[in-house]
Amino acid sequence: MLFNSFVFILVFLPITCFVYGLAIRIKDKSGIWILILSSLVFYAYWNEKYLCLLLISIFINFLLQKWIYHNKKNMYCKLVLCIGILLNLFLIGYYKYYNFLLENMAEVFCTNFVKLDIFLPLGISFFTFQQIACLVDTYKGDIGNVSVCEYVLFVTFFPQLIAGPIVRATDIIPQIQRLVSNTDSKAIKFGLTLFAFGLFKKVVIADYFSPIANALYSSPEIANFYDALLGSLSYTMQIYFDFSGYSDMAIGLGLLFGIRLPINFDSPYKSKSIIEFWRRWHMTLSQFLRDYLYIPLGGSRKGERRQYINLIATMLLGGLWHGAGWTFVLWGGTHGVYLICNHWWKKKKYSIGKNKAWLITFISIWFAWILFRANNVYDVFYIIEALGGNNGFAWGCSMLSSKGYALSEIVLVLLLSIVVCKYLPNSYNMVNKIQQLKQPIFALIAGVLLTYAMHIMTYTNRVSEFLYFQF
């Protein structure tokens, strides 16, 4: 079930809101169980057989969390924590990386490779990381006693279950414990408007760029300069508005039920450095990698050389987290090199103009997305060669033109999108400003965005998945 589907907007969400509203008026805790049930239905809608896997993962992690909480001074507590982390890593390793590992081992040892029929469970990267963080935070003493219903809802809460943000128990469980029957009308209005913004981003903007990007990456070997340039920039905009839109909808949906999810996007394409970019892009993942990987590795505490090694290691694993493929590893490694260069530049106290800094940062991000999106390493070279003019510069003889795309229209939409990314405030701040307007105007803006997005959904007659569902 997708947020940008009619079954979600017109059936699942209204029923869930209605039943939840009735439940919390009867008894506060009953609202929690309604949200749990709704979240499990939401997840099972995709593939019911992986619901069992999710519940087993929750059951084991909950028992481990309970044991660690009640036995903090036990000499075996750290061992139990390590076992818990390894179990979670084994789960994600098997479903996400097993075939990738076997394939590469087969190439190294020149043996035959038989691919196992392993279907990647949706959201496994997110709910696995959340539970690892919960175990670590419990061990550190940051999390108190948690009931079974509070823990289950923390993991399964449907607005963030499938594609994040990666929430922490320290942020969400206290909110679950404070859920009351009194509804916050301002929060609900804010949430609905933010949801409308997110739906508009996904359906109107991201899905516009999707077929253009797919055209390039499905046949990069025949692309000329304009195909490579416009196609790769289209993906740069697609992934931005797709993931940003999902994050807006997730936060908006959370507010409808009295839970404030963390902001995951803060206008990352405004960044004037790669360091700033990673403070703005997929913020919850960046914070997770920093707190649970980079800092435990030593961070910047053990000298400059060790800091650079830690940066590379963190970003390589961050890239691999996105998918089992060498392109993701290359993408992560590239950003690791970017960060090293950025830190070195800062230490030398060099400076350039703000506009130059933004342009260099944006071009660097755009190039890295080519690595991220390419189907394999060979396709990366095809696109780089095309950008170098290997297949010519003929405007009218491009692959995109032959498929019926108007290149001038793509250029115009790309330029407008870049302007929006660079100059407009993030959705959260925009909705804050809209909320300060008079009530009719506030409702009108939200209504127009929602109506137009649903019109596009009807017109195109298709429901596209969010890009981060595959990670």
Q: How far apart are CA 202 and CA 245, in angstroms?
A: 5
Amino acid at 274: I
Decide: 283 and 271 in contact? Cβ < 8 Å: no
Q: Which of 424, 456, 42 is nearest to 240 (CA)?
A: 424
Question: What are the residue numbers of the active site?
Answer: 322
Q: Which two tokens stand for residue 247?
A: 């994050």
User: Residue written as tokens 């298709």?
Assistant: 462
Q: How far apart are CA 3 and CA 465, in angstroms?
A: 9
